[in-house]
Structure 1
Amino acid sequence: MADLCRGYAGRLHYRRQRCADRLQHARDRLYGRRAAFGRDCCDQCRHFGGAPAWRQNGEHAMARISHDVFDAPAVTTLVLFIGINDISWPGTAFAPTQPMPALSSLQEGYRKLAALAKSRGLRVIGVTLAPFRGALAGTPLDNYYDDDKNRLRLAVNAWIRDAGIFDAVVDADSLLQDRHDVTKLDARYDSGDHLHPGPGGNAVLAQAIAGQVRSCR
């Protein structure tokens, strides 16, 4: 779902586009109107905003929402699947001196995006952050995961579920987790880097998101 680094770019772009294509097909069959997804909402290499060191890897969400979502024709729903890099890049080679964000700053990012979308008449679906233990092991980003980052992810997820700012929620955490170790992706849904869903995981997410888009009609 994200172009995290150059070595993954082509492969991950294919998976992300495949997921977007499935969602678009499901949307077309359901009601002939459009939800913003794919690069529009799932590009987790782009962030809420903040640290300049992160911006070399893409514009943050607030800077691009107009172009990616509001300027697209006939969009009715924003699917907001973002935040794992905000949690996990601090301390890695991408942002070695950057501290982890506070939960409150992430909440504010979600609130701003949701409020902006709703002010344009869009419905907003929030998506929880999937498990990521072991993410990018054996790469220069092998400290992408640690237990403190995971605790923050869980706190974000609990807030997404209960905040009441979204018209619906898709629980990617619950859908994609390994039932024997809920800090990890289920092997059936793992792309192999323990961070990004593979085709099976994307199919599960696409089905869940399409169902929630329909329920938001």
Structure 2
Amino acid sequence: MNAPSPSPDAALWREPAPLVLASTSATRRALLAATALPFETARPEVDERAIEARALADGASPEALAVLLAREKARAVSRTRPRSLVIGADQTLALERRLFHKPTSREAANEQIAALAGRRHALHSGVALARDGEIVCDLLASAHLTMRPLDEAAIALYLDLAGDVVTTSVGGYQLEGVGAHLFETVEGDHATILGLPIFPLLAALRDLGALAL
């Protein structure tokens, strides 16, 4: 009787301890799951706004802030998961030097979209890998998006169509949904836009010897 073949995910992962994603984001989980890697998730217990405030006071750029937040998330979870490689990820949206966060209401989303309309902004996705509380590598990938000029009526219609989803994403839009109608051009990898740059992440895991492929 033949032994059962190993599952594809077990064949891919070389580490003895599980890979851990330090995120509760359903989008990041789906992106990582699509790679067929076995992984677990954990919530990173960090005060993002406090870290951001200190970093900005020190003059950190939006790009540096994305990587810093990813590092802090990875480090926090890795302290509780001995031997595991832990992925931390974060994303900043910058209109020149202005940073945007998830809008807390329809009114806040309206204000953000009005500010972005007709202009080109950047999404900076930072990723860090940690083990036993120490960062082993980090990376940054960026995308640039140009939003169409939009009048008040167009923004109101978008908000009606998108519903509560506008408060779940920085900038008040999700490109994978009705938010696609807001844009003229998109420059960058789709996974980077969604907050987890898969190809650079897989390259980093290969460099660490964690992947068989």
TM-score by length of 1: 0.34
Larger radius of gyration: 2
Q: Which one has the bigger helix percentage? A: 1
TM-score by length of 2: 0.34
Higher strand share: 2
